[in-house]
Structure 1
Amino acid sequence: MNLPDRIYESITLLSEEGNALYDDSAFEGAISKWSQALNLLPTPQASWEAFTWLSASIGDAFFQLTQYPKSLENLKDALNGPDGLDNSFIHYRIGQCQLLLGFDEEAITSLLKAYMLDGDAVFKADPDGEVYLQKLKAQHLIDG
């Protein structure tokens, strides 16, 4: 099922504006644009592909702002959208948030899910990724 053209165009425009703001480290502005786009989705919102990437993007921006509870909330929402459970980045960011919030056991589970979905690629793409890989290695969950 496709979004109506008018809604699709509005979501695309807001998403692009949000991406540009994110790239300029204007994370609050990006969150605002992506939230506006999310609010345009017909109900049930979680049934649309855009729900997954908008929620994940909002969660990522909150992560950049070190607002980990809000990041975690939005990233967990993203899991409920199409292909959310199969997205290694979402699990990776969730694991990071959980670890930073002191939820160590849950963090290990989320980081392991990210690793199982995509190997070490998502970890290698992050300058801090080796820290999180070491958490899995220390638990003897992956080789290394």
Structure 2
Amino acid sequence: MKDLEPELKAQVVELCNKAVEAQEEERFHASNRDLQKVYELLQEPKAEWKAYTWLISSMADNHFEQDEYLAAFEKFEEVFTLDAESNKNAYLCLRRGQCALELEHAELAEQLLSRAFELEGKELFEDEHSKYLKLAKQA
């Protein structure tokens, strides 16, 4: 994985901090605008930069929070394609599974939600709609 030049890294860190702050304030569009700026600053091939999967995951999560399930699903798919360790991240499995369910991909949703449940248990599902935990337990 590549690291950024110091000047570019400073810009990226500042934008990422703004994006996280906006996300914490539930200003998801604003967060994604800042994350998109980070994305545009990265040189090709973008996937080789450190924290690229974090960037794409954060964008996906913002889309999910805005009920933009297809956009979120596509971003999560990219993360899982780029990072083989993603299937060991309970939160990523949860979010990708939730998107799959909302897009009526029931079989994939069941696999991902049950994986999230196996990795972290019901605590992960506490703030989520009960339908997700119900499906996770079916597997």
Name the TM-score, length of structure 2 as normaliser. 0.86
The percentage of aligned residue pairs carrying the same residue is: 26
Deviation (angstroms), 1:44: 2.2
Q: Give the alignment of 1:26-65 within 5 angstroms.
A: 26-65=27-66
Deviates more, 1:71-80 or 1:59-68: 71-80
In structure 2, the residue matched to 1:72 is 73
Runs of 4+ displaced beyond 6 Å:
none
Alpha-carbon contact 1:52-1:84 (below 8 Å) kept? no
Aligned CA RMSD, in angstroms, stands at 1.9
SS in 2 for 1:132: helix
Mapped partners of 2:5, 2:90: distance in 1: 29
Deviation (angstroms), 1:16: 0.8
Mapped partners of 1:46, 1:109: distance in 2: 26
Deviation (angstroms), 1:118: 2.8
Alpha-carbon contact 1:72-1:94 (below 8 Å) kept? yes
Mapped partners of 2:51, 2:129: distance in 1: 27
**Structure 1 unaligned residues grouped into runs of 5+:** none
SS in 2 for 1:80: helix
Give 2:136's aligned amino acid.
Answer: L
Give 2:128's aligned amino acid.
Answer: D
Mapped partners of 2:44, 2:20: distance in 1: 24
Mapped partners of 1:12, 1:80: distance in 2: 25
Deviates more, 1:43-52 or 1:54-63: 43-52
Give 1:19's aligned amino acid.
Answer: V
Mapped partners of 1:40, 1:30: distance in 2: 16
The reply on whether 1:93 has 2:82 as its aligned counterpart is no
In structure 2, the residue matched to 1:106 is 108
**Structure 2 unaligned residues grouped into runs of 5+:** none
Question: Given the superposition, is the C-alpha separation of residues 101 and 40 from structure 1 closer, same or farther in structure 2, using an over 3 Å criterion?
Answer: same
Deviation (angstroms), 1:130: 4.1
Alpha-carbon contact 2:101-2:109 (below 8 Å) kept? yes
Deviation (angstroms), 1:14: 0.6
Deviation (angstroms), 1:129: 5.4
Mapped partners of 2:44, 2:116: distance in 1: 29
Mapped partners of 2:123, 2:49: distance in 1: 26
Mapped partners of 1:121, 1:49: distance in 2: 30
Equivalent residue pairs, number: 137
SS in 2 for 1:25: coil
